[in-house]
Amino acid sequence: MAHDVFVSYSQQDKPTADAVVARLEQDGIRCWMAPRDIVPGTSWGDAIVTAIAGSKVMVLILSANSNRSRQVVREVERAVAGDVIILPFRIESVDPTGAMAYFLGTEHWLDALTPPLERHITRLARTTATLLAGGKVDRDTLDRAPASAGRRRTRLPRWAVGAGIGLAAVVVLAVALLFRSDSPTPTTAALPTTTTTLPVVAVALEEVGRFAPADLDPTGRRVPDLVYGFDIDGSMLVIANGVDGVTRLAIGDPAEPRPLDTFGVTDARAVAFTGGYVYALSNEFASQDVIVFPVDGSGGISLPMGTNRVGSLYTLEVVDGYLYVAGHDYVGVADVTDPGAPALVFEWETPASTGNPADVFVSDGIGYFSAGWDGLYLFDLTDPAAPDLLGHWPSPDWVIDVVVIDDIAYLTLGSAFATVDVSDPARPVVLGSVQSPGFASPLAVAHGHAFVGVVGDQGALGAIAVFDVTDPEAPTLVGTFGTFQIVTGVQVVGDHLFVTDESQGLVVFAITGIG
């Protein structure tokens, strides 16, 4: 049936969801809710995905039950990827945690904490009608979100608001490659339990410098611009700085990052920087081309990235003359051996919907494609234009980011950090794991330690979590450092850790205790 609103809820909160739907439909607002509107014989998952894609607004019944519901989290991430407006309706005094906090980055919502419920549902119906009419909701009519919720993510980390392309446009490429009869059988991804005891002597981080690109508001006050990611090449660093483009910094002295120039890239969302060329992802809500230009900002070539993808693109990486672009259920590979004439040579879509996270790490001719709920895929990149599937690790949780060193894959899994032996790409074997102090996302590994950006739980802000991985079979949490809203990138250069935060900009730490 045609509808405007998708109602997402935990089954334990069905009475409230029924009351919401009844009032919205009484006001002429067409709703979709499961299981009521699932056509008999239709796949539950397919029906949910199609219904969300056809919605303008998602009303989320937020409670302790929905906060920990894996199905509700999947529905919310799908709405974020499809650029569906999310209107949380909080019926219990609960802060979003983990993956829900990661996706539910809205500053205001509607609370329904005091009786009578009907009064709050009336306000919800009025707000929903305003949103559907294309109007702006006066924030004074809404409630302020708990401290744990920041702005809605617009890049996620490696993860973000989708482009809103209809599911009917999805064309799955490389099906024959992925399902060849000789493809290896995936191994079971059980995570062993390891200690979380803090070491007596450990690496620590000490902030030594920062840089926050900023504009002036009408009152003359400096307002930080959003920073969506960065990359480093030698003594130069480039930042994807949203509507202001790409900013280049000199970091010869890490304690004093020095801005050099800014290049006009429309709504820059991610960057890669190598060989004197900058590769910037542009226009998150439009075509999402990659703009390739020399580091001096002259010229510039636009490389359209695939018509066969279902959602947003998040990350870029350039290795040995090939550009790898990852996004929602998608990886594209472009030949950039001649940066002045880039050419898209390969596209891959995951076999099933996997959630927002997607990234690529390339090492020793093997591509490690993280695929959210669907785990980690390993490809032979002897010919990057025709990757050959080697193996698959079906993670028990999201695979967000991956770094591979000496046949050990270090993975952020949302709620955990894990190590996996990939010496036999056909049969990855998990070595160890440890619970993360928050929703784990961007990752860097150096000096026997993993440095992970986390989004805080239980109302807390995020931080950098440091894990000791000198024994990959027993990764150990060392501690957390700094205070961040949403970490969008981490890299280690020498004995310094560079971190970008969406709202704070670039923060530089000295890594101490590494001998």
Same domain flag for 376 and 506: yes
Same domain flag for 393 and 258: yes
Task: Enumerate residues 6+ apart whose C-beta is below 8 A from 406.
Answer: none
pLDDT at 382: 92
Q: How many residues appear in the chain?
A: 515
Same domain flag for 123 and 236: no
Same domain flag for 203 and 131: no
User: Is the Cα torsion angle 430, 435, 436, 438 positive or negative in sign?
Assistant: positive
pLDDT at 38: 85
- What SS3 state is found at 463? strand
Closest by CA to 333, choosing from 352, 311, 313, is 313
Task: Write out the residue range of the structural domain in which residue 15 sits.
Answer: 5-152
Q: What would the 3-class secondary structure string for 349-365 be?
A: ECCCCCCCCCEEEEECC
Q: Is residue 164 part of a domain?
A: no
Alpha helices in 41-187 (DSSP H): 44-53, 64-67, 70-81, 98-103, 117-132, 175-178
pLDDT at 73: 85
Question: d(Cα 100, Cα 112) in Å, to the nearest integer?
Answer: 19
449-456 and 462-468: which strand pairing? antiparallel
- The pTM (predicted TM-score) of the whole model is 0.67
Question: d(Cα 39, Cα 442) in Å, to the nearest integer?
Answer: 40
| Residue at which a domain ends, from 152, 183, 209 | 152
pLDDT at 141: 54
pLDDT at 428: 94
Kindly report the number of other CB atoms within 10 A of residue 146's CB atom.
15
Same domain flag for 139 and 190: no
Same domain flag for 350 and 224: yes
DSSP 301-321: EEE---SS--S-EEEEEEETT
Structural domain count, the chain: 2
Question: d(Cα 194, Cα 187) in Å, to the nearest integer?
Answer: 20
Same domain flag for 365 and 494: yes
pLDDT at 235: 92
pLDDT at 414: 82
pLDDT at 308: 59
Kindly report the number of other CB atoms within 10 A of residue 138's CB atom.
9
pLDDT at 213: 77
pLDDT at 350: 82
Closest by CA to 242, choosing from 223, 270, 216, 207, is 270
Q: Is residue 160 part of a domain?
A: no
Same domain flag for 145 and 199: no
Q: Are 420 and 393 in contact (CB under 8 A)?
A: yes
Q: What is the pLDDT of residues 415-469, one digit of tens each?
A: 899 999 999 999 999 999 999 998 888 999 999 999 999 987 655 678 999 999 9
Q: What is the pLDDT of residues 337-396, one digit of tens each?
A: 999 899 999 998 887 766 555 689 999 899 999 888 888 999 999 999 999 999 999 888
CATH code, domain with 329: 2.130.10.10
Same domain flag for 407 and 478: yes
DSSP 479-502: EEEEEES-EEEEEEETTEEEEEET
- Can you say whether residue 20 is alpha, beta or left, with left for phi > 0 and alpha for psi between -120 and 50 degrees? alpha
pLDDT at 138: 54
pLDDT at 419: 95
Question: d(Cα 253, Cα 257) in Å, to the nearest integer?
Answer: 7
Mean pLDDT per block of 10 residues along the chain (515 residues) reads 90 90 93 88 81 94 86 85 89 82 69 89 93 69 48 36 28 25 41 50 86 64 70 92 86 93 83 91 69 84 73 85 88 92 90 68 93 90 94 88 94 92 92 91 94 76 92 93 90 95 91 83
